[in-house]
A and B are shown apart, each in its own frame.
Chain A
Amino acid sequence: MNSIDVKNLHFTYPESKEIIKGINLSVKKGEFLSLVGQNGSGKTTLAKHFNGLLRPSKGKVFILGEDAKNSSIAELSRKVGHLFQNPENQIFEETVFAEIAFGPRNLNLPEKEIEARVDKVLKTTRLSKYRDTHPLSLSGGEKQRLALASVVVMEPQILVLDEPTTGLDLLSIMGILEIVKELHKKNVTVILITHDMGLVSELSERVVVMGNGQIIGDGTPKEIFANDELLERASLEPPQIMKFSKILGLKPEVKVDALYKRIVETL
């Protein structure tokens, strides 16, 4: 069973142009997929269909094999965790603990289990020492880890990360990615929306390129970044390492280590 199946999806906001113009997409369980494309290409609009924040104007979305139209946002959000760009918009409780406990409390779990779950997530996100701290006194990177903790505590099988690293410095970005990699190892399906082609090459197994409400490319990072015509059409810049491997006339590579090996073998 696939994590996500999108069948002939169309979406139009009321009194607006069509944003999603017929999308078919299947995401396997445990896949790490990056969704890339220019602003306005429809990435976020597509992803909002996965947890029911938006409903199709036409076509169908299946989450873990079930038609999403039969589930409420609350039901879907147990399966699909969604982390947005600006963590402050997702924070509203008085302490870090209460913030993370908010979701599980709404599931009416026993208090003991809530506490166990929250403490476990505090550990994974390295926020244990801030258990009783006011969330707004955390740094930018810590706030984003808190927002991620609040999503992860619901134990979703699918995680959607919508530009989770915008405005963060590298150490904070690495902090977030370590957690995401751990979850991916545990077979959580990850959909990453980002403009950072370095992250895309480093993390994802599959890249889906969107342009003007449609899917215009779908493949491994190597396949996508070697396709100049596609990159041009999507206004994407190929990673430096891809450009350089081509200049050297070597097989395309997207990671520093891989190209280093190839160069050393050739020399």
Chain B
Amino acid sequence: MIEVKNLHFKYHSQTEEVLTGIDLSIKKGEFVSIIGPSGCGKSTLCLTLNGIIPKTISGEFSGDVIIDGINTKDREISEFSRKVGMILQNPESQLFAMTVEEELAFGPENLAVPREEIEERISWALSIVNMGDKRDEFPGNLSGGQKQRIAIAASLTMKPDILVLDEPTSQLDPVGKREVFSVLKELHEKEKMTIVLVEHRTEPIAELSDRVIVMNKGSIVLEGTPREVFEKVPLLRELGIMVPDISYLTYLLKEGGYVKDIALTVEEGRRLFI
């Protein structure tokens, strides 16, 4: 679904490359989380996945990003915006319409999707984000979590195959965070969507992802299942990444020979002691 080959990128304003040779392939339906310290290149990598880099943000770009068999260098950005939905940190920057319905209709209307199908897509998207009752609401009146869910729904009405989310909950309170993560879980499990999530809290990553990618200084330094990655506690600490508390506790217990494995969730931790 996504193939990244020997990708290098340098912003014109900077002296050093921000991506220093990334190779990555993501399968259809996979949930991949990317983690790493500020400035490691994770947000830049996201921007290459729908062609914003190099099409809109230019710089020194080499290597290939191939989405569903098509190289991002070869086509216009508008083609990829249908395939790859992009959700950023601050939902406010993505909302502009007077009602939720108008917000969701905007994308498909621009693609000249027939009225009836737009209607269907809106109802479907609102039911996924669990906001069917907010159709006529002014987006400005919604809570942070609700706004971010509307931004996700707006992206869904384009029927993308892939959803890329760059720290979608960093500005939200715990209730909003939970709301957004449960939508991602639903999209992954029920809609079989391919999801790329940049996130710095490891608890939701451990719970949701099939695979975790750790970046540092523009390259991938570690990747694997959440279990394979979160076992490497000392390396992650060096990078300033804290594994979930339950994983850290069970890591210590495993090192001491008290349990066989590390746990990713509290429920898994319970099973270690049965």
Name the one of B167, B178, B200, B248 contacting A170, with C-beta atoms under 8 angstroms: B200
A167 to B200, CA, bound (A): 9
A141 touches B (CB below 8 Å): yes
The digit string for A232-254, where 1 denotes a CB below 8 A from any CB of B, is 00011101110110011000000
Name the one of A195, A197, A241, A263 contacting B253, with C-beta atoms under 8 angstroms: A263
Q: Is the CB of B245 within 8 A of A140?
A: no
A residues less than 8 Å from B241 (CB atoms): 170
Name the one of A39, A166, A241, A264 contacting B258, with C-beta atoms under 8 angstroms: A264
Q: Check A240/B242 contact, CB under 8 A, given A256-B252, A260-B253.
A: no
The digit string for A121-149, where 1 denotes a CB below 8 A from any CB of B, is 00000000000000000011100000000
Q: Is the CB of A174 within 8 A of B240?
A: yes
Q: Check A241/B246 contact, CB under 8 A, given A166-B170, A169-B37.
A: yes
A116 to B185, CA, bound (A): 54
Name the one of A38, A141, A260 contacting B38, with C-beta atoms under 8 angstroms: A141
Count how many chain B residues have C-beta atoms less than 8 Å from C-beta atoms of the other chain.
Answer: 32
Name the one of A167, A169, A235, A241 contacting B245, with C-beta atoms under 8 angstroms: A241
A247 to B144, CA, bound (A): 33
B residues less than 8 Å from A235 (CB atoms): 174-175
For window 119-147 of B, CB contacts with A under 8 Å fall at 143-144
B44 touches A (CB below 8 Å): no
A198 to B167, CA, bound (A): 19
B171 touches A (CB below 8 Å): yes
Q: Is the CB of A167 within 8 A of B89?
A: yes
The digit string for A154-168, where 1 denotes a CB below 8 A from any CB of B, is 000000000000111
Which residues of chain B have a CB within 8 Å of any CB of chain A? 37-39, 89, 143-144, 167, 170-171, 173-176, 178, 200, 203, 240-242, 244-246, 248-249, 252-253, 256, 258, 266, 269-270, 273
26 contacts between A and B (CB under 8 A): A38-B173, A38-B175, A39-B175, A169-B38, A169-B240, A170-B240, A171-B38, A197-B174, A235-B174, A237-B174, A239-B245, A240-B203, A240-B244, A240-B246, A243-B266, A244-B266, A244-B269, A244-B270, A247-B269, A256-B248, A256-B249, A260-B249, A260-B252, A260-B253, A263-B253, A267-B258
